[in-house]
A and B are shown apart, each in its own frame.
Chain A
Amino acid sequence: MNPNQPPTSILTVLSLDLLIQIIDHLLDPSDRKAVRLVSHAFLRAESLQRRTLNVLRREALVSLLRRYGAIERLDLSLCAGIDDSSLSLAVAGGAAATVRKVRLSRAGAVGWRGLAAIASGCPKLEAVDLSHCVGVGDREAAALAGVPGLKELKLDKCLKVTDVGLAKVAVGCPGLETLGIKWCLEISDVGIELLVKKCRELKDLDVSYLKVTDKSLQAIATLWKLKVFSMVGCNFVTDEGLRYLNNGNNSLREINVSRSHNLTSSGLVPVIEGHKSLEKLEAGYCFYDLEPLFLSKLSGLTYGFRTLKLDGSQISASSLQIIGANCKHLTKIGLSKCGGVTDEGVSELVSSCGDLDTVDLTCCHELTDDSLISIANSCSKLETLLLESCSLITEKGLNLIGTSCSNLQKIDLTDCNITDTALKGLSKCSGLMFLKVGLCPNVSDKGIVYIASSCRKLRELDLYRCIAVGDKGLAALVAGCKEIKKLNLCYCVRITDQGMSHLSHLEELTDIELRGLFRVTSLGITAIAIGCRSLVELDMKHCYSVDDAGFLALAQYSEYLRQMNITNCQISDVALRLLLRNLRYLQDAKLVHLPNVSKQGWDLALRACFDKLKKVKLPSELRYILSPVTIHMLQIRGCRIRWISKPLSRYEVPLQEILMGQKPQPFF
């Protein structure tokens, strides 16, 4: 107890376990932070209660692990500069003895020594996530094999892991239940076959993009506990391979065969026949035609079959009708980029499937308001509606959606050319959290006002190239939607420093894109930096009106900034160096076309942050200008350098950018 605490404080009366119970009810991290700053008693209670730890700085890792003695989930994926020595130091002496799960996703500097330290320091370890650590190879896998109790392992995109590494894991961790080896391109049939022989407990397996053949499928089919199987982009697997999966187990719940080009829809028939309890089937970009046999077999599945994703196929109205008739309990349907989808087909489908909560009709260009009407009439539980590039829809349909689907949380109207009136209709969905109206030049401040006035829960707003939106709209937005975390204002060129000062009131804002806002100057950026203290991602590409003052403000105030794009900005040597040095958590920087930075400036700036950067985009000419030592320093710490040789284009709005600017949203 803190002796300075007044004796009348309630904290002296409550026992530790009661305090812990109080903390248990606090879910928001910021609330927790407030609580543990109140008193030592709460601090101690919290340290005993806390199970999850997300460390952002490697310097803090040791002390944090010492303080929190009961940590079970340790997330180091955002920890800047985490490396072998800091890991070894942190887990030494049993400091992490209670840890069960470790996330090291994208921790490029972690090698086998660190993993070996974890393996020996965390005896209860059950789950490790090493996804996107592109440098991880067989030796790291061998270190993980020293964790006999390992049940869950993610090695997605660990490019250097070969069959040997997989064999190490397979032999060392026979109790493995979940394994992701997506993009581990070196792994082949031999490795899979051995894995299957050694790890009989596997329930969840992801072999996406591997060059495996039917032989692997034959082996995998013997995993009688397998529930979730993902084989996206396995182009060497044929229908024959899928036939093996009909093994009489009925164990599969989810299967994803998307982008496996050697499959036909009838190849899935044996899978459906063998696994009646299937819940989720994804076969996007896989086959062009849906054969009647496949569609009719869908009726054999149990009521548990909820999710069907057939992106990129050719689906006629009659096919949709059969799907609707056979899968009445579908809750999620994905028809993104499907050809032949018409209003008739959609209405046939939704009239049978009243339980749908997610409908993906992205790029079904032929759809009109009729589809929306039938959706609105049938799907009262609708939560997610993706209508990108359905340019024929109007406010009429959307109004109906807003009226009927009160549960709507997410709607994508990118490139639908909607108007303010449509937004007015949608604003009836008070629970709306994600709204994308990019590339709708008709959306103006008025529409934003409608949304802001009623959709108070809005978290994410995409106004990409809504050129009619200006400062007033932002003012209304800030007034109404305080919880916004993510905001895309790229190329909304009317926005000025005034708008930025409005935005500075969004304390929860973590992610903001300000590309091409040439009216925004250092003043606006300074306002953002001071106001939006939780900012994690910032895109200022082509904000060429911002000068060093703005960047210095960022360097001083935006301490949580992790990802930054300042391509084509007027930043000087000093500011760049200060920015890169001061941003302690910076991991991803895009630094192409910085005309005011000299050769020495580059060297100094990059050396100032070499140990925390994980990804950096640099102009390709720097490859020959930068000192090789700097490049080596970056690379040896696991930083991936992408050399960009695109010519500078200030006013150009390339089509590519329009397409790429839309980050894919997680669908289901």
Chain B
Amino acid sequence: MDLKNTGVSISESSSSKASSSSVMPKTPRNLNPNIPFSTTQFGTSNLCFDSGANQSFHAYQPALGMQSLPLYHENKNKDHQVLDWDPRVMLNNLSFLEQKIHQVQDVVRSMICRREEGQFSNQANELAAQQQLVTADLTSIIIQLISTAGTLLPSFKNSSLPSNPPGGPMGSLIGSEFRSDSAKASEYEELIKGLSNAGDEGDELIKYVNACGGEGTESVLIEDDAMDGDNLPPGSYEVLQLEKEEILAPHTHFCLICGKGFKRDANLRMHMRGHGDEYKTPAALAKPSKEVSLEPAPIKRYSCPFRGCKRNKEHKKFQPLKTILCVKNHYKRSHCDKSYTCSRCNNKKFSVIADLKTHEKHCGRDKWLCSCGTTFSRKDKLFGHVALFQGHTPALPPVDDAKVSVVSDQVQGNDLMNEGSIGFNFGSTSDDVSLLDIKGADDDRGFFSPMNFDSCNFGGLDEFPRPAFEVSESSFSMLPGSYNYVRGNGET
């Protein structure tokens, strides 16, 4: 299968290049085995889930097979050959499923027969074992079905897909009865856990206890512009780091039965009601209670998984992010393609949809234009700018338009802006490039050197959750205009 397992590859490369990588070496994923491992790694999409499923299917086939059917073994190799969407493979998969279903049918039928024969008492143990078997088989059928369906999804066909590092000892359990006693924690299990895990976001994290607690000097380096003036000295808080797959996952909660994804666990629980009465009980609908610990919860701060980023814990002047939402917004704004384009000006792009919406509220109103090409949303800002620079004047809309409209003004402004920022607009990749491709690019470390990144850290790329459309003047410092004030301009 053509599944790149990005998550794995990152961690592998990190560990191999310990000096350069910042994410992994100090943070073995299994540092705290009690924390259930992330579900979101599978959750970027159905496909992710699918890939995970496939992989785990193969990797842990033996474990499953021990309790299950030989037929499954026979199909294993065929599964491996699935490189892409292939009708032949699909047929194989489907026939496998069919057979499997027949087998389960047989088992159940035999159970019915035995019940009718009245052989309950002496065969209770056997019945329990059979029941377990049925459950396990059904689960595997579901997964196989989903994975098969997943290969059909076109947009993810060629994507690299995240997966787990193999062999990580995954300790946590799930409510699935079928879970084998085997000491080997399988990724298969992990997948199942992922499907059913109702843990909240905090549990999805790779925990990392800040190792640099002793380095007191760093507190000096933390600058004031840390979010909300929240200047915690390093070490006074716990630093958590999500993987980018987790950050970018649209859904973090999946229905065990139909595979549908949800952003909130509560929504999933509501959804589950449709799958049967057993999900309608107050217990099933209740919010899973967290472990109540007596000691106060440690302050949590988050690190961006992008190496070289100021928000990455390896950075010299590391500034932690306060909440998961901050992490998500920061990562999307700073390290992802801007795939949302404003439909009004067809120019501004955003990676966070909320930013787009905020922009669209103001788009077309940003009509205050300076002769140097800078636009302002407020007149007093423009006039402040004009007052500051010799020779700059407020610009008028283009002359020959008889109908001098704000719109044309806006378009002109945006053209200029485009001109100004195109040099380092790494978000300028064409729209059809998917998020996943950009992730691939991320792995190419040279592509965004930290320096490069800093130099174009303007406006929308700012890690602060402010409206990203506000273009600062510095973005025009490279404008190929005939003004002598470019330098001064950039300094503001």
Contact = CB atoms under 8 A, between A and B. Distances in A.
Nearest to A191: B383
Q: Which 7 A-B pairs have the closest CB atoms?
A: A164-B394, A171-B393, A190-B383, A197-B387, A167-B394, A194-B383, A190-B380
B387 A168 contact: no
Contacts of B300: none
Interface stretch (A86-94, A138-146, A512-520): A138-146
Given A190-B379, A194-B387, A164 B396 contact: yes
Nearest to B378: A190
Contacts of B392: 171
Interface string A170-211: 011000000000000000001101100110000000000000
Nearest to B379: A190
A191 B382 CA distance: 11
Given A193-B387, A194-B386, A194-B387, A167 B380 contact: no
A171 B386 CA distance: 9
A573 interface: no
17 contacts: A142-B396, A145-B393, A163-B383, A164-B396, A167-B383, A167-B386, A167-B393, A168-B393, A171-B391, A190-B380, A190-B383, A191-B383, A193-B383, A193-B387, A194-B383, A194-B386, A197-B387
B396 A138 contact: yes
Contacts of A138: 396
Contacts of A171: 386, 391-393
Interface in B378-428: 379-380, 383, 386-387, 391-394, 396, 399
Contacts of B393: 142, 145, 167-168, 171-172
A172 B394 CA distance: 11
A167 B382 CA distance: 11
Given A142-B396, A194-B383, 12 more contacts: A139-B396, A142-B393, A145-B393, A167-B386, A167-B394, A168-B396, A171-B386, A190-B380, A190-B383, A191-B383, A193-B383, A198-B387
Interface residues of A, number: 16
Interface of B: 379-380, 383, 386-387, 391-394, 396, 399
A194 B380 CA distance: 10
A143 to B, nearest CB: 10
Contacts of A172: 393
Contacts of A145: 393
A198 B391 CA distance: 10
Interface string A194-235: 100110000000000000000000000000000000000000
Interface of A: 138-139, 142, 145, 163-164, 167-168, 171-172, 190-191, 193-194, 197-198
Scoring B379, B391, B392 by chain A CB atoms within 10 A of each residue's CB, the highest score goes to B379
Contacts of A191: 383
B326 to A, nearest CB: 36
Given A171-B391, A198-B387, A163 B396 contact: no
Nearest to A189: B380
Contacts of A139: 396, 399
Nearest to B404: A139
A190 B383 CA distance: 7
Scoring A168, A190, A198 by chain B CB atoms within 10 A of each residue's CB, the highest score goes to A190
A193 B386 CA distance: 11
Nearest to B371: A171
Contacts of B396: 138-139, 142, 164, 168
A167 B385 CA distance: 12
A190 B379 CA distance: 8
A193 B393 CA distance: 14
B386 A163 contact: no
A163 B380 CA distance: 10
Nearest to A167: B394
A207 to B, nearest CB: 16
B14 to A, nearest CB: 54
B274 to A, nearest CB: 60
A163 B396 CA distance: 12
Contacts of B380: 190
B57 to A, nearest CB: 67
Given A139-B399, A171-B392, A163 B379 contact: yes
A181 to B, nearest CB: 16
A111 to B, nearest CB: 11
A163 B394 CA distance: 9
A164 B404 CA distance: 15
A46 B399 CA distance: 42
B489 to A, nearest CB: 16
A363 B396 CA distance: 49
A665 B384 CA distance: 43
A198 B389 CA distance: 10
Contacts of A142: 393, 396
A279 B379 CA distance: 38
A142 B371 CA distance: 12
A194 B394 CA distance: 11
Contacts of B391: 171
A191 B393 CA distance: 12
Contacts of B379: 163, 190
Contacts of A193: 383, 387
A193 B384 CA distance: 9
Contacts of A190: 379-380, 383
A171 B383 CA distance: 11
A168 B383 CA distance: 11
A168 B393 CA distance: 6
A381 to B, nearest CB: 49
A139 B394 CA distance: 11
A172 B386 CA distance: 12
Contacts of B394: 163-164, 167-168
Scoring A142, A163, A167 by chain B CB atoms within 10 A of each residue's CB, the highest score goes to A167
